């Protein structure tokens, strides 16, 4: 099933009824402190920056307060408290009458969604993939270099105006075909800063901009009206939420943005990734807070697994998980989370979208491709049978197999909302049953985690946020699993099945061996990646996200010298993530 192409036009988007003050001032301003990169002139217009600055003026303080609350909550978990269903919101869960707004135009059928970064070549490939939806990812699949941040917005701006193309240095041309998926853009999470833009408040204080408001604000300003006029809409995937208050903040951002752009209330539709353990206990509350702007929830399985490890990382050996390869969606505590998501969504009229299988084909190796297709088919059959309305793939060659599976279950129906899954009963104990993941930590598992994390970080530092490694698609979420397991294993002095005590020294030896085996070239960034890996996997303290230090140390560029916009908003809260 396909959707019609957007009209091809070269006209610019008007910002609705909103415009900055006549004298060019605003309650706060955004100053570009990064260098000029391709697309800057079209993306970083005065009007667009004023719009994003207005969102900062209204919401930056609340964002910082919520990040501080995250830090407090994580400390409670480290001290022995467990996440749980909130007693103060029990009335929301008990009221069976309310429903969310649901899918917007062009988003009714989501049986196959392709995910990927927004550079021009990958954008063309995604738009030509034949999927129903393209998750245009400015988050985990994008390395947040300034060139990528601006370039991704520019790719989307051009795509919606029918002028997206790409030609390689060898002369290979990429063009968008006549039929394209509905686009759902994923901005960066609340915890991330955009240090190439500095927000200056009324008092003249300058702080790094909030990446979430930058990504969503620029996207909505440039494209929302055009998308509505084309019969679709401005749709977003919301990552890394840890609870309903963070969803409430997003909802308030949508309300204000729609007012500023002259759009009807409810025009924006969001799908929330349930990819943190705390959020799994607040699915209904998240839907409630976003109900006028909500299309559904997604099972962000890899970040969810990372969140579980992070939450219980220092709580004792019974929370230590085995090799990453053993952590499949058949593990009871992971299956409980995915089934609860379907039941919750369908009870409230929301789409339940499945996660991404990491297996990818290799066009040069038929045996690898056959194994990948077999693994992906089994994964998608599990999701379709469980009641999911659609699923993710990471490669165009996987679109047909995923579609076949969902076509078998859905037929002509666009979704499975009629399947209420009243048979699903999931308790807090089920979600917290980490010990249900059986298996051992092995020498091979340690080496795999070191190798994957190292190679992914090197790719990320070179500006590529989604990397094919050992026939798996790795992004920031899967790299987080690898490095957080290493930290937990060392912290708890785990001994592998082969009898190897895991210490900083033993992991460092493995790191040295992996580095020695890798083919080296100028600019490969492996040494920088090794330094980052030591910081996030072998230090005494556990950095909440591996990308925070890597971004600040390696990706931030300055047009006017160091220091401009360097300080994060409420720095301690931002680092807490």
The catalytic position among 186, 232, 291, 313 is 186
- For residue 349, give the nearest of 248, 418, 422, 426 by alpha carbon: 418
Beta strands in 447-557 (DSSP E): 467-469, 472-474
Beta strands in 53-181 (DSSP E): 112-116, 133-137, 165-167, 173-175
| SS3 of residue 193 by DSSP | strand
- Beta-strand pair 133-137/193-200: unpaired
Determine the Cα–Cα distance for residues 275 and 337; give it in Å rounded to an integer: 10
- Beta-strand pair 193-200/29-32: antiparallel
Residues 357, 363, 367, 368: is their CA dihedral positive or negative?
A: negative
* 114 close to 393: Cβ distance less than 8 angstroms: yes
* 280 close to 307: Cβ distance less than 8 angstroms: no
Lateral strand order in the sheet of 29-32: 29-32, 193-200, 206-210
Q: How far is CA 91 from each of CA 85, 88, 95, 100, 282, rounded to the nearest angstrom?
A: 12, 8, 6, 16, 13
| SS3 of residue 182 by DSSP | strand
Q: Is 363 left (phi over 0), alpha (psi -120 to 50) or beta?
A: alpha
b/e map 477-509, b = 16+ CB within 10 Å: bbbbbbbbbbbbbbbbebebeeebebeeebbee
* 87 close to 107: Cβ distance less than 8 angstroms: no
292 is annotated as an active-site residue = no
Q: How far is CA 347 from each of CA 276, 290, 337, 341, rounded to the nearest angstrom?
A: 21, 15, 16, 10
Quickly tell me which residue has 């840890």 as its tokens: 242
Phi first, then psi: give them for residue 476, nearest 5 degrees.
-60, -35
- For residue 4, give the nearest of 163, 231, 185 by alpha carbon: 231
Beta strands in 70-120 (DSSP E): 112-116
- For residue 16, give the nearest of 324, 262, 384, 317 by alpha carbon: 262
DSSP state, residue 415: -
Determine the Cα–Cα distance for residues 180 and 5; give it in Å rounded to an integer: 5
DSSP string for 16-50: TT----TTS--SSEEEE-SPP-TTHHHHS-HHHHH
186 is annotated as an active-site residue = yes
The catalytic position among 137, 140, 475, 568 is 475
Please state the length of the chain.
577
Q: How far is CA 441 from each of CA 310, 328, 453, 481, rounded to the nearest angstrom?
A: 17, 15, 17, 14
Residues 150, 154, 157, 159: is their CA dihedral positive or negative?
A: negative
The residues annotated with a catalytic role in the active site are 186, 475
């Amino acid at each position: 099933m396909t959707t019609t192409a957007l009209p091809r036009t070269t006209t610019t988007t008007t910002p609705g009824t909103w415009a900055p003050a006549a004298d060019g001032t605003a309650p706060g301003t955004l100053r570009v402190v990064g260098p000029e990169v391709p697309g800057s002139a079209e993306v970083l217009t005065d009007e667009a920056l004023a719009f994003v600055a207005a969102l900062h003026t209204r919401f930056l303080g609340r964002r910082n307060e919520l990040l501080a609350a995250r830090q407090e909550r994580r400390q409670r978990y480290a001290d022995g408290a467990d996440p749980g269903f909130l007693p103060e919101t029990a009335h929301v869960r008990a009221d069976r009458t309310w429903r969310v707004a649901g899918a917007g135009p062009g988003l009714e059928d989501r049986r196959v969604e392709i995910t990927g970064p927004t550079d021009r070549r990958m954008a063309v490939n995604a738009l030509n993939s034949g999927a129903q939806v393209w998750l245009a990812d400015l988050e985990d699949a994008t390395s947040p270099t300034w060139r990528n941040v601006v370039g991704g917005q520019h790719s989307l701006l051009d795509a919606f105006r029918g002028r997206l193309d790409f030609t390689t240095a060898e002369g290979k041309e990429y063009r968008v075909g006549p039929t394209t998926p509905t686009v759902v853009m994923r901005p960066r999470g609340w915890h991330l800063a955009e240090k190439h833009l500095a927000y200056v408040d009324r008092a003249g204080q300058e702080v790094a901009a909030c990446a979430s408001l930058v990504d969503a604000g620029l996207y909505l300003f440039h494209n929302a009206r055009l998308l509505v006029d084309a019969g679709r809409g401005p749709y977003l995937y919301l990552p890394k939420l840890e609870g309903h208050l963070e969803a409430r903040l997003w909802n308030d951002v949508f309300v204000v943005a729609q007012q500023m752009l002259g759009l009807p209330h409810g025009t924006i539709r969001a799908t929330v990734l349930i990819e943190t353990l705390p959020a799994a206990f607040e699915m209904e509350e998240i839907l409630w807070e976003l109900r006028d702007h909500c299309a559904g929830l997604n099972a962000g399985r890899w970040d969810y697994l990372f969140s579980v490890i992070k939450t219980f990382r220092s709580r004792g050996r019974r929370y230590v998980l085995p090799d990453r390869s053993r952590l499949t969606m058949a593990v009871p505590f992971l299956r409980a989370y995915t089934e609860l998501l379907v039941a919750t969504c369908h009870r409230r009229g929301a789409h339940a979208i499945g996660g991404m299988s990491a297996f990818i084909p290799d066009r040069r190796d038929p045996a690898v491709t056959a194994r990948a297709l077999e693994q992906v088919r089994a994964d998608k059959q599990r999701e379709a049978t469980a009641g999911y309305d659609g699923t993710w793939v990471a490669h165009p060659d996987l679109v047909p197999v995923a579609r076949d599976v969902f076509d078998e279950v859905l037929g002509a129906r666009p979704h499975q909302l009629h399947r209420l899954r009243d048979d699903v009963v999931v308790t807090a104990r089920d979600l917290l049953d980490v010990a249900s993941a059986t298996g051992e930590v092995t020498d091979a598992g340690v080496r795999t985690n070191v190798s994957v994390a190292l190679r992914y970080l090197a790719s990320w530092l070179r500006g590529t946020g989604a990397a094919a490694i050992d026939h798996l698609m790795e992004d920031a979420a899967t790299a987080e699993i690898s490095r957080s397991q290493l930290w937990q294993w060392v912290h708890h002095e785990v001994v592998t099945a082969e009898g190897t005590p895991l210490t900083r020294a033993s992991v460092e030896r493995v790191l040295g061996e992996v580095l020695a085996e890798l083919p080296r070239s100028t600019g490969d960034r492996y040494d920088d990646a090794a330094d980052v890996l030591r910081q996030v996997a072998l230090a005494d303290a556990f950095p909440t996200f591996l990308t925070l230090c890597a971004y600040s140390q390696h990706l931030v560029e300055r047009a006017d010298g160091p220091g401009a916009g360097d300080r994060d908003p409420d720095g301690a809260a931002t680092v807490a993530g």
